[in-house]
Amino acid sequence: MIEICALASGSNGNCYYIGSDEEAIIIDAGISRRKIMERMKSRGIDPTKLKAGFITHEHQDHYRGAKILSKKEEIPFYISEQTLNRSHYTMRPPHIKTFSPGDTMQIGPFTVHSFSKNHDAADPCSFRVQINELNIGIFTDIGEACENVKSHLSQCDFLFLEANYDEDMLENGKYPAYLKQRVAGNQGHLSNKQAVELIENHASKKLKTIYLSHISEDNNRGDIAMEAFEHLADKYDINLTSRYDAAELVTLQDE
């Protein structure tokens, strides 16, 4: 039995939980340890199962809570060397372990596949977590979708997929021109439209569940993102993550 939960998703913090009966990992720790513990407890998750964390890149909303969490819970965080250097993350072994995007790491039953992606960071990567034949993807903070993203997405049964902005809201919103260009550029974020196109063109036939993630507070709304995916609702179970609370705990069979 595998449990999955977005503990936080948005520009104010990101943290995704994947657990088996006895062990668990998190992808990113962009909220405080206290909030991570509170949100795990609110969903009935046992924090003592945590064995490791993984950091996608050095922006604060992805690693803010990692230092204290690694010390208090005595778990290592896996981080690429370039990301480590850019982040000024001051922990050292055994609290950190470095990897290169493209590496595969084994934590208990979890085979964690890392891969490079386009984003305005030193060495950004995303992860596909495999448990037996079940594949869970965390696909956020992506500018233009590269072949790595398309290839790994096409293997997933369950997705956290970025739907960061609505193109009209961004264009007509309050952001200055340079920031609009950053968000919409090939090193920025995925729009609702781009996320839909990824699913239409590259989703696995096994894909069943999508959680729309990293939704902008200023340039998107949950109902607008869901409307963009409405024509796919008969094919997939489509849901929203939240920046302010944990999403529901999802339970899947890993066989």
What pLDDT does 23 receive?
98
pLDDT tens-place string over residues 22-55: 999 999 999 999 999 999 999 999 999 999 999 9
pLDDT exceeds cutoff 70 at 5: yes
Convert 222-243 to b/e letters by CB count within 10 Å (16 or more is b).
eebbbebbeeeeeeeebbbbbb
pLDDT over 70 percentage in the chain: 99
Q: CA-to-CA distance for 161 and 199, rounded, in angstroms?
A: 9
Q: What is the pTM of this model?
A: 0.96
What pLDDT does 197 receive?
98
If you count them, how many residues does the chain have? 255
CATH number for 187: 3.60.15.10
Q: Which domain holds residue 148?
A: 2-252
Q: CA-to-CA distance for 4 and 252, rounded, in angstroms?
A: 8
Give phi and psi for 197, each to the nearest 5.
Answer: -65, -35
Q: Of 92, 86, 155, nearest to 119 (Cα)?
A: 86
pLDDT, averaged across the chain: 95
Q: What domain count does the chain have?
A: 1
Using the structure block, give the residue that is written with the tokens 């964690």. Answer: 112
What pLDDT does 255 receive?
63
pLDDT tens-place string over residues 69-102: 999 999 999 999 999 888 776 777 788 999 999 9
Q: CA-to-CA distance for 113 and 148, rounded, in angstroms?
A: 11
Specify whether the CB–CB gap between 150 and 139 falls below 8 A: no
Instruction: Determine the average pLDDT of the residues in 183-196.
Output: 97
pLDDT exceeds cutoff 90 at 253: no
